[in-house]
């Protein structure tokens, strides 16, 4: 039976490449901004467009955030892509005014709350002689914890995927880190916990190996 997977539209860019990738993997993908569609879907994908604070503002106002938390609590498979991965965490500082007008302060930084599926934060990549944003193909190394991640196969270790981002996640629990990439710092490029998965890269733009990740997610759904 073909499964219904909703690609969450939070009004920040073109989502058609993610929709095509899911359809090519055998799903029936639907781009929607409606919380009711998120709650009724068999699986959910948050694509990677926009900035943390702006995305969360729209999701909170529209009811998408609560619908996503409900879907996760019900055990529905979830995939975050790029920004979608960062939104899985407790908090982020991207596009948050640092004057106290928005969000909350911790360790001298102002943050807004994320979806809270995973404990941790979204922070900017350090500028240490490398260009930020990080754009292009880069290698992914599977961790020991990642060897049991249902999204991955052993031969994906050392493969290259396509990245375009300035921010990365910093999980509190290292056991959710399924793979890492080294650019300016070693950061999680795949996270995995229960029914929730996240790719900091864009699988829909990462050739055959990226297509395999999309296929494995559809199979999970």
DSSP summary character for residue 173: -
| Burial group, residue 144, by CB count within 10 angstroms (0-12, 13-18, 19+) | exposed
For the chain, the distance separating the N- and C-terminal CA atoms, rounded to the nearest angstrom, is 11
d(CA 57, CA 221): 28
Cβ atoms of residues 80 and 120 within 8 Å: no
Torsion of CA 118, 24, 143, 202, to 10 degrees: -70
Packing angle between helix 207-220 and helix 16-24, nearest 10 degrees?
Answer: 70
The catalytic residues are 82, 202, 204
């Amino acid at each position: 039976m073909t499964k219904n997977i909703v690609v969450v539209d939070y009004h920040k860019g073109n989502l058609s490449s993610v929709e095509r990738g899911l359809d090519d993997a055998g799903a029936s993908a639907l781009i929607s901004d409606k919380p009711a569609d998120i709650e009724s879907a068999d699986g959910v994908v948050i694509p990677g467009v926009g900035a943390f604070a702006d995305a969360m503002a729209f999701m909170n106002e529209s009811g998408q955030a609560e619908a996503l938390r409900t879907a996760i609590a019900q055990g529905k498979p979830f995939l975050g892509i790029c920004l979608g991965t960062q939104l899985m965490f407790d908090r982020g500082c991207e596009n948050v005014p640092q004057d106290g007008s928005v969000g909350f302060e911790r360790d001298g930084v102002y943050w807004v709350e994320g979806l809270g599926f995973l404990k941790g934060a979204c922070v900017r990549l350090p500028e240490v002689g490398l260009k930020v944003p990080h754009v292009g193909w880069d290698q992914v190394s599977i961790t020991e914890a990642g060897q049991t991640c249902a999204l991955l196969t052993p031969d994906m270790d050392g493969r290259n995927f396509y990245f375009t981002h300035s921010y990365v996640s910093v999980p509190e629990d290292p056991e959710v880190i399924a793979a890492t990439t080294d650019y300016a710092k070693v950061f999680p490029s795949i996270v995995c916990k229960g029914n929730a998965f996240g790719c900091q890269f864009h699988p829909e733009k990462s050739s055959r190996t990226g297509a395999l990740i999309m296929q494995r997610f559809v199979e999970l759904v």
